[in-house]
């Protein structure tokens, strides 16, 4: 039996993780290998017993490796969490947090040039939407992205109706499912509500040659706010 070194001790309780049954550094084994005479019956039984102990030690080592790998995984996860926590702490010192709401409102208003509301999924009968909306949401939905950043930014965005008043609408004249139409209409209605009484800049793009008989709801909403139209293209 071998004695446990410091590296064999549990890092928490400082007790041996497990006690190996076989001394792999034994010099007796090498002496037997150099012997010219074969083992006696008693020695053979001893060897068989040692082989069984080796198998049991091997299983224990496998369990110990699994335990240590689990600990390493936990430690790495804690390390990543600490890194995120450190990044969050640094954000508390960000210069933008020192800006008053009036300055933030001006920055947000400058960033929200247009909000793209696009019917999705686009009708399979058409060639696809005119604008590629696969980039980051901040590029085509700046008002929603800003309001989803943090509670303070949301409060500023919700109190700035101009952010929600610039709309670029892309719809297909081909008939789509009521579910898709309702989702588009709900989004449009949300922006119209949040823009309050602010003048609207609307850019409407309709794809297809079949007219708008299948799209009454979005147009009805826009007509209801026609008094606020600042521009309509």
Mean pLDDT by 10 residues, the chain (233 residues): 52 64 73 63 73 89 90 94 92 87 93 83 57 66 90 93 90 62 82 90 75 63 85 84
The pLDDT assigned to 76 comes to 95
Do 62 and 162 lie in a common domain? no
pLDDT at res. 118:
79
176 contacts 123 by C-beta, under 8 angstroms: yes
Structurally, the chain folds into a number of domains equal to 2
pLDDT for res 219: 78
Domain extent for 74:
6-91
Looking at residue 199, its pLDDT comes to 92
Same structural domain, 137 and 204: yes
What phi, psi does 172 have (nearest 5°)?
Answer: -105, 140
pLDDT at position 154: 93
114 and 196 both lie in a single domain:
yes
| pTM of structure | 0.58
Look at residue 61 and tell me if it is in a domain: yes
Structural domain contains residue 157: yes
Could you say which of 60, 91, 122 is where a domain stops?
91
Instruction: Evaluate whether residue 117 is within a structural domain.
Output: yes
Q: Is residue 1 part of a domain?
A: no
Of 230, 100, 108, residue with least CA distance to 163: 108
List the one residue out of 160, 165, 157 whose CA is nearest residue 202. Answer: 165
pLDDT at 1: 43
Same domain, yes or no: 86 and 141: no
Same domain, 87 and 200: no
State which of 91, 123, 142 marks the end of a domain: 91
Q: Are residues 118 and 34 in the same domain?
A: no
DSSP 123: P
Find out whether 220 and 185 touch, Cβ atoms under 8 Å.
no
Three-state DSSP class for residue 201: strand
């Amino acid at each position: 039996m071998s004695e446990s070194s410091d590296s064999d001790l549990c890092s928490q309780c400082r007790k041996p993780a497990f006690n190996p049954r076989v001394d792999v550094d034994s010099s007796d084994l090498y002496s037997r290998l150099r012997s010219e005479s074969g083992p006696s019956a008693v020695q053979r039984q001893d060897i068989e017993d040692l082989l069984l102990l080796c198998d049991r030690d091997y299983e224990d080592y496998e369990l110990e490796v699994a335990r240590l790998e689990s600990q390493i995984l936990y430690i790495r996860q804690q390390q990543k969490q600490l890194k995120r926590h450190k990044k969050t702490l640094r954000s508390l010192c960000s210069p933008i947090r020192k800006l008053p709401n009036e300055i933030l409102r001006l920055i947000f208003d400058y960033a929200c040039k247009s909000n793209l509301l696009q019917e999705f999924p686009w009708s399979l009968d058409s060639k696809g939407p005119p604008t590629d909306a696969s980039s980051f949401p901040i590029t085509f939905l700046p008002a929603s992205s800003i309001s989803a950043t943090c509670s303070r930014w949301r409060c500023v965005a919700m109190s700035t109706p101009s952010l929600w008043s610039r709309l670029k609408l892309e719809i297909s004249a081909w008939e789509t499912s009521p579910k898709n139409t309702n989702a588009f209409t709900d989004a449009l209605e949300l922006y119209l509500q949040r823009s309050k009484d602010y003048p609207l800049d609307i850019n409407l793009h309709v794809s297809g040659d079949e007219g708008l008989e299948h799209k009454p709801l979005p147009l009805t909403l826009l007509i209801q706010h026609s008094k606020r139209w600042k521009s309509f293209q």
